[in-house]
């Protein structure tokens, strides 16, 4: 018998070597208690959270919690069914209406996760005779959506408008084409040049899908994302997003003005063949989305946090993923996995949690310490964070 697990041997060995050095497992941390969107107890220690996707700090919002509790009591703990059978409750329609209002679009479809939203929409609209042109650094859920639909995949260099244009020009004129982009790329926290990319895509007769997972709630005057901030939201055919980041719960969605959009509810397998979200989750999501419509002050504070952390880390001598702060994600580039893991642990010992990211999730084989800010981080917390980076950086030799 061939052991089907033998292909994982190199990874198992790398992991064992790292753990044998006495390092805390960076991929097995337990949040023992969670005090707020910015503080948790980890390894018995009060820890500032700088590695969550809780950009707008909605997880402990009193209205959000109250809506969830009420729905749990009124509608029970789960729907036990698909959206197309017994799994559509009033709350699912209410959250879809909240999304239509938030984005000012005609249609909204809610999935059980953001992963499933990409998987479902991409695989259903682009089949084996169609082309999907996508940024090479696209999220795994986008690649998996392409694979599920069996479409022809044409990747182009990250954020390179000319490369996208060239790829599009080489495709046969009469074929179906979908360009898939992200507003903010989650590893380096950089923003896509959507204005130019949407223009070349439209000129080539392609439909455009933008995943705004990391920009919803924060970027754009109404928090609709990078496509709003760059003035192209009306030219984008589909926006995909998630409830697991700024919205502060779990779930995914697609919004669109396409007149035939509703047919997806009958033909999209990751929507049809899975249970719908629990009533408490859709109630918290709807409440959160409606509050995000009116969160300009929080957005402003989050920008201040992002600018302050970016400037401070740079001043300390760290190498960052972007030259300027472009989103709520600031990536600190580490020279290798060993140093990255040591720095990650040193930060944890200081009382700071960040994400350790490594290939294949990261581009170009990079090891990153990904910092993601929250609108509820106070000015003094950002000061503390910089102090912890200074101490950990010097202790591990990352900075002098």
Ligand X SMILES: Cc1ncc(COP(=O)(O)O)c(C=O)c1O
Q: Which of 168, 157, 163, 118 is nearest to 135 (CA)?
A: 157
CB of 111 to ligand X, least distance (A): 8
CB of 187 to ligand X, least distance (A): 9
Residues 6+ apart with CB under 8 A from 392: 343, 346, 347, 349, 350, 352, 398
| Residue closer to ligand X, measured from CB, 139 or 299 | 139
| SS3 state at 228 | helix
Of 114-122, 224-232, 348-356, 387-395, the window that binds ligand X (rule: CB under 6 A) is 114-122
Residues 6+ apart with CB under 8 A from 123: 145, 146, 148, 149, 151, 268, 269, 270
**Out of 47, 54, 124, 141, which residue is the one contacting ligand X (CB under 6 A)?**
141
Considering the rule CB under 6 A, would residue 115 count as an interface residue with ligand X?
Answer: yes
Considering the rule CB under 6 A, would residue 211 count as an interface residue with ligand X?
Answer: yes
Q: Quote the tokens at residue 225.
A: 């994302």
What is the contact mask toward ligand X in residues 58 to 97, using x (rule: CB under 6 A)? Answer: ----------------------------------------
Q: Quote the tokens at residue 233.
A: 């939201």
Q: 256 - beta bridge partners?
A: 107, 238
Of 42-50, 57-65, 107-115, 173-181, the window that binds ligand X (rule: CB under 6 A) is 107-115
**Out of 114, 145, 189, 321, which residue is the one contacting ligand X (CB under 6 A)?**
114
Report how far apart, in Å, the C-alpha atoms of 266 and of each of 51, 145, 201, 226, 274 are: 37, 17, 28, 30, 13
| Residue closer to ligand X, measured from CB, 61 or 182 | 182
Rg of the chain on CA atoms, in Å: 21
Number of residues that bind ligand X (CB under 6 A): 13
| Residue closer to ligand X, measured from CB, 78 or 351 | 78
CB of 38 to ligand X, least distance (A): 19
| SS3 state at 367 | strand
Answer whether 64's CB lies under 8 Å from 294's CB: no
Report the chain's terminal Cα–Cα distance, integer Å: 53
**Out of 118, 249, 367, 396, which residue is the one contacting ligand X (CB under 6 A)?**
118
Considering the rule CB under 6 A, would residue 37 count as an interface residue with ligand X?
Answer: no
| Residue closer to ligand X, measured from CB, 246 or 381 | 246
Considering the rule CB under 6 A, would residue 227 count as an interface residue with ligand X?
Answer: no
Pick out residues in 246-275 that bind ligand X (CB under 6 A). Answer: 252
| SS3 state at 300 | helix
| Residue closer to ligand X, measured from CB, 137 or 165 | 137
Considering the rule CB under 6 A, would residue 367 count as an interface residue with ligand X?
Answer: no
Write the Ramachandran bin of 248: left for phi over 0, alpha for psi from -120 to 50, otherwise beta: left
Binding site for ligand X (CB under 6 A): 113-115, 118, 139, 141, 182, 186, 211, 213, 242, 244, 252
């Amino acid at each position: 018998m061939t052991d089907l697990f033998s292909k994982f041997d190199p990874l198992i060995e790398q992991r064992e070597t790292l753990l044998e050095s006495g390092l805390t497992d960076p991929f097995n941390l337990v949040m023992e208690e969670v005090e707020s969107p910015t503080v948790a107890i980890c390894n018995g220690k009060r820890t500032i959270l700088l590695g969550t996707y809780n950009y707008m700090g909605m997880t402990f919002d009193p209205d959000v919690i109250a809506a969830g509790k009420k729905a749990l009591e009124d509608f029970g703990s789960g729907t036990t069914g698909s959206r197309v059978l017994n799994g559509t409750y009033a709350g699912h329609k209410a959250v879809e209406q909240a999304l239509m209002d938030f984005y000012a679009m005609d249609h909204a479809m809610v999935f059980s996760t953001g992963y499933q939203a990409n998987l479902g929409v991409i695989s259903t609209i682009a089949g084996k005779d169609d082309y999907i042109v996508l940024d090479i650094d696209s999220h795994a859920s986008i690649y998996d959506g392409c694979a599920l639909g069996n479409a022809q995949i044409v990747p182009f260099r990250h954020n390179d408008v000319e490369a996208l244009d060239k790829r599009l020009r080489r495709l046969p004129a009469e074929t179906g084409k979908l360009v898939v982009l992200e507003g903010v790329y989650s590893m380096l926290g950089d923003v896509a040049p959507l204005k130019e990319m949407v223009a070349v895509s439209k000129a080539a007769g392609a439909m455009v899908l933008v995943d705004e997972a990391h920009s919803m709630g924060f970027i754009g005057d109404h928090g609709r994302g990078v496509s709003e901030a760059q003035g192209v939201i009306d030219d984008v055919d589909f926006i995909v997003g998630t409830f697991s980041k700024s919205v502060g719960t779990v779930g995914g969605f697609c919004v669109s003005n396409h007149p035939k959009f509703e047919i997806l509810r009958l033909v999209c397998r990751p929507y049809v063949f899975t249970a719908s979200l629990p009533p408490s989750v859709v109630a918290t999501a709807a409440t959160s989305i409606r509050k995000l419509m009116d969160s300009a002050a929080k957005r402003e504070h989050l920008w201040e946090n992002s600018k302050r952390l970016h400037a401070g880390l740079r001043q300390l001598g760290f190498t960052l993923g972007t030259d300027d702060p472009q989103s709520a994600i600031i990536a600190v580039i580490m020279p290798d996995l060993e140093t990255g893991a040591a720095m990650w642990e040193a930060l944890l010992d200081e009382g700071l949690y960040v994400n350790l990211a490594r290939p294949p999730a990261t581009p170009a084989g990079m090891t990153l310490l990904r910092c993601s800010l929250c609108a509820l981080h106070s000015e003094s917390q950002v000061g503390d964070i910089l102090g912890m980076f200074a101490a950990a950086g010097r202790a591990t030799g990352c900075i002098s």
